[in-house]
Structure 1
Amino acid sequence: MKLGGSLARRRRSRRDKSRGPIAEASNGRRGQRGYSRLWFSVLMLALVGWFGGYLITTQFIFPTPPPPGDLFEVPDIRGGGLATARERLMGAGLILGEIDSLLHPSVPEALIIGQSPLPGQVLRPESQVRVTVSLGPQLRSVPDVLGLTEDRAQVVLASSGFLVSKDTVEADLPRGNVLEVFPPPDTVIPLPAEILMIVSTGPALVAMPLVLGLDREEALILLDSLGLMVSEIEEVFRFGRDQGVVVEQEPASEMELERGTEVRLKVGMSGGVVE
């Protein structure tokens, strides 16, 4: 065995042992630098992708609208006709758009009652303004309810869209029947409207007078003046002063009667009963 070769091997072994930690540290540093470069590359790619997507979206998919030119204020065109509205809109750099219509209880026909956009807002040139035009009030003919009962007439008028008020008056019609309506039947009027209904309270009532002791003719004249009808006069036997005068009456005095009510009388006569 050579002494020189053994010494050389020992020196190489010592050099290799001393180099081991240094080499490992160097390799670790190289690995960290590799990871840093990788993350930096990924971050740069993400930024480039985001920026590219933003450009594509804003420039091609959803491009920013061009800056507006002159803006015109919407005038108030309510209360006028379509011709006037068209002229005013043209003067303001706008045009008349869609036209709607509806019934209105108080605004006359053909007048503008609404617009969109509202006055004071601003629009681009040649923008449209939508309007709503009144067709005027709804017209309805007054139904004929004369002679109907109050309740039935009320239903007919209300179902036709009218408001109903009532007054009463004495009349020959039965109590509760309709005598008149104002405006008269078949009159065409705008809704909403009120109809005045005149309802009968029946014939006027009169108090049955006391005719006992009156001569026959006097009793007949009095009853006739009150509108009461004498339907029967029966002659009965009486003595003395009861002859020729009314001795019985039906109905009794002070009863409230309708005009035309029938009255029966008995008149005293001498010599027995005469048919």
Structure 2
Amino acid sequence: MLALLGWFGGYLITTQFIFPLPPPPGDLFEVPDIRGGGLATARERLTGAGLVLGEIDSLLHPSVPEALIIGQSPLPGQVLRPESQVRVTVSLGPQLRSVPDVLGLTEDRAQIVLESSGFIVSMDTVEADLPRGSVLEVFPPPDTIIPLPAEVLMIVSTGPALVAMPLVLGLDREEALVLLDSLGLVVSEIVEVFRFGRDQGVVVEQEPASEIELERGAEVRLKVGMSGGVMEQ
């Protein structure tokens, strides 16, 4: 019994005076959720929770507006000692980029330029006088400043409209010329060849043949029957 009392007395002396236990922790405060607000609001809420605003980082964000908090450490719900710091990350907003001027470039080259600038490229086509594959327009227009990620629509030429060569055999000369002109085709040569009977004054040969697709402005050659025409060999 005396030995037990002596041990207990020695324990009390050791723990209370020689190696005292650390004091119990003070109040622990729960970290509030300060994401989605600004720095002023975050500082006010942290102060009310017994905490302080710590280091502030920033980064670009495609959808969160500039100056709003997008991250915090520690996360909401954790507990900290009074006056502990809470680190935050603030959005710089989306990255802004000017649409490059790719008008007149080929489709492939324009796509490389736009994609290397960070844009998503879509495409539509229309008939136009510019060569096939040339970029006619872009939407948004060149030099427009827009946030990334963003889509740019290219309007690309499929080349001039094609027309089918009509059948003009058997038409008289003037009828054939009027028809071809209405289609945008150019008669570059008319050769009068010897014919008699009903073939006189009408188209007896044409080049290209009918139904061949041609660009507007393409050249057409005709042979017209005449009694005094050239005798074909």
Name the TM-score, length of structure 2 as normaliser. Answer: 0.87
Structure holding more helix per residue: 1
Shift of 1:183: 1.2
Q: Is the Cα–Cα contact under 8 Å of residues 114 and 133 in structure 1 kept in the other structure?
A: yes
**Aligned to 1:131, what secondary structure does the other structure show?**
strand
Q: What do the CA deviations read for 1:164-222 (whole angstroms, capped 9, x no partner)?
A: 11222222121112122111111111111111112211122211101011111111111
Measure the CA separation in 1 of the matches of 2:147 and 2:221.
55
Structure holding more strand per residue: 2
Distance change in 2, residues 1:61/1:186 (3 Å): farther
Measure the CA separation in 1 of the matches of 2:130 and 2:17.
87
Q: What do the CA deviations read for 1:204-251 (whole angstroms, capped 9, x no partner)?
A: 221110101111111111111112111122222322222221121110
Shift of 1:272: 3.4
Shift of 1:52: 17
Partner residue, 1:4: none
| Structure 2 gaps, min length 5 | none
Q: Is the Cα–Cα contact under 8 Å of residues 228 and 261 in structure 1 kept in the other structure?
A: yes
User: Which stretch shows the higher mean deviation, 56-65 or 258-267?
Assistant: 56-65
Distance change in 2, residues 1:63/1:222 (3 Å): farther
Shift of 1:54: 13
User: Which stretch shows the higher mean deviation, 233-242 or 88-97?
Assistant: 233-242
Distance change in 2, residues 1:178/1:60 (3 Å): farther
Shift of 1:56: 15
| Structure 1 gaps, min length 5 | 1-43
Distance change in 2, residues 1:274/1:59 (3 Å): farther
Distance change in 2, residues 1:247/1:196 (3 Å): same
Measure the CA separation in 1 of the matches of 2:227 and 2:19.
125
Shift of 1:69: 1.2
Shift of 1:271: 2.3
Name the TM-score, length of structure 1 as normaliser. Answer: 0.74
Q: How many residues align?
A: 232
Measure the CA separation in 2 of the matches of 1:62 and 1:150.
81
Measure the CA separation in 1 of the matches of 2:162 and 2:172.
25
User: Which stretch shows the higher mean deviation, 71-80 or 45-54?
Assistant: 45-54
Measure the CA separation in 1 of the matches of 2:7 and 2:188.
115
Measure the CA separation in 2 of the matches of 1:244 and 1:127.
104
**Aligned to 1:172, what secondary structure does the other structure show?**
coil
Distance change in 2, residues 1:263/1:84 (3 Å): same
2:117 is the counterpart of 1:117 = no
**Aligned to 2:181, what secondary structure does the other structure show?**
helix
Distance change in 2, residues 1:105/1:50 (3 Å): farther
Q: Is the Cα–Cα contact under 8 Å of residues 235 and 274 in structure 1 kept in the other structure?
A: no
Shift of 1:47: 18
Partner residue, 1:270: 227
Distance change in 2, residues 1:203/1:52 (3 Å): farther
Instruction: Provide the alpha-carbon RMSD of the alignment.
Output: 3.8
